[in-house]
Amino acid sequence: MIEGKLRILLRCREERVGSVEIISTRPQISGRLLEGDRVSQALSKVPVIYSLCRQAQSLAATLAQGAIEGGEPPPGLIQQARLEALQEHLWRFFIDLPVTLGKVPLLSPFAPIRQQILQQIKALDAAPLYNAPLPWWQALREAVEGGLLEYRLADCCGQGLTHWQQWLASSRAPLGDMLRCLGECLPTAEAPILMQPSLMGLDADALPELVTLLESHEGYGAQPWLAGGHPEAGAIVRHRDHPLVSALRGQGALVLARLVARLLEIDRLLDPAQALAMGSFARGEDGAAGWVETARGILLHRLEIRQGRVHRYQVVAPTEWNFHPEGPLVQAVLALPAANLERLRQQVQLIGLSLDPCVGFEVEVCNA
């Protein structure tokens, strides 16, 4: 298991953030552990080496292999990746967000939800063609909506800004309380950089350019870029044109917009009729890339085969985009006021949570 963590170091002067340094201990050598293996052997190692979001990692690897050798990923693996993404989104709302806001995590409602998801993932290991019946999904949806919103997700997020504001002002549900608290911690007037109305997002259209750069630049996976700059990855990219998300971005509430996009994604993932976003494309005769839309954004695996063995294996994860030295987190934090260092620390923690690295992170603030 290869994990690591992020350390976000802020140096402040004259009540402004002077610099932001992101120090990562996440190893970037993982793909080398597969080079020289037969393809089937390499694919069996992928969920062990990449234990974070292991179902999505396996699916991206399988898609890349299929683009070279033919074949489709097992339906069970696709459903496992879907459930994994759903669990990750829910963890942010039931556990991480309340803790970051100084509140008690919602363990009681989340524990049975998580247990249902984990049991279903395990059942798919034994029966990869099994599909959970519609009543199972309906019961899961009721548990999620009841435990978090006391309201239907579609009604909460799907009816525009005015309806959202009315719900937020009157809701006594755990999520309503948390989001009101979030608004107090991140007032728009103090954080104009959170606006970014012309959001540059990493979507499927950018992947051919990404793979071209990945093939030709050593170390690209650790600090990726595109010709147009440093895009953001995550649910907000998929839902950036949704009326509510767009309206919140226009108001300067990008952290809230990201969280609303996550709610929209939860609503989508709870509907088994909605396809999981994924794909693959060949690169020459012996190379290919496979990608999956995870809870944090697009995960891409690039595979190159020679004589039946893995010649090169590369991965680009969403965290590398959002926590790039010139990426979304740094851009947002550099514009924050620093008169109150403890308040600044909490704001950075909330921005970091909304961008959601795949490993733990800590924030350190000091005066230069």
8 Å CB contact between 31 and 317: no
Torsion angle in degrees (nearest 10) through CA of 151, 157, 159, 161: 120
Task: Give yes or no for a contact between 16 and 338, defined as CB atoms under 8 angstroms apart.
Answer: yes
Q: Judge contact between 240 and 201, C-beta under 8 A.
A: yes
Q: Determine contact, residues 299/60, Cβ cutoff 8 Å.
A: yes
Query: In angstroms, how far is CA 155 from the centroid of its own chain?
Result: 24
φ and ψ at residue 113, rounded to 5 degrees? -65, -50
> From CA 216, how far away is CA 193, in angstroms rounded?
33
Tell which residue, 303, 153, 93, 314, has the closest CA to residue 219.
Answer: 314
Bridge partners (DSSP) of residue 84 are none
156 annotated to bind ligand: no
- 48 is annotated as contributing to ligand binding: no
- What's the Cα-to-Cα distance from 281 to each of 68, 82, 284, 316, rounded to whole Å? 9, 21, 10, 15
Residue 144: strand, helix, or coil: helix
Angle subtended at Cα 94 by Cα 110 and Cα 261, rounded to the nearest 5 degrees: 120
One DSSP character per residue, 35-83 reads: TTSBHHHHHHHHHHHS-TTHHHHHHHHHHHHHHHH-----HHHHHHHHH
Residue carrying structure tokens 């020289």: 36
Task: For residue 175, report the phi and psi dihedrals to the nearest 5 degrees.
Answer: -70, -40
**Interatomic CA distance for residues 41 and 35, integer angstroms:** 10
- Binding-site members for Mg(2+) are 315
Binding site members: 315, 358
Positions at the binding site for Ni(2+): 358
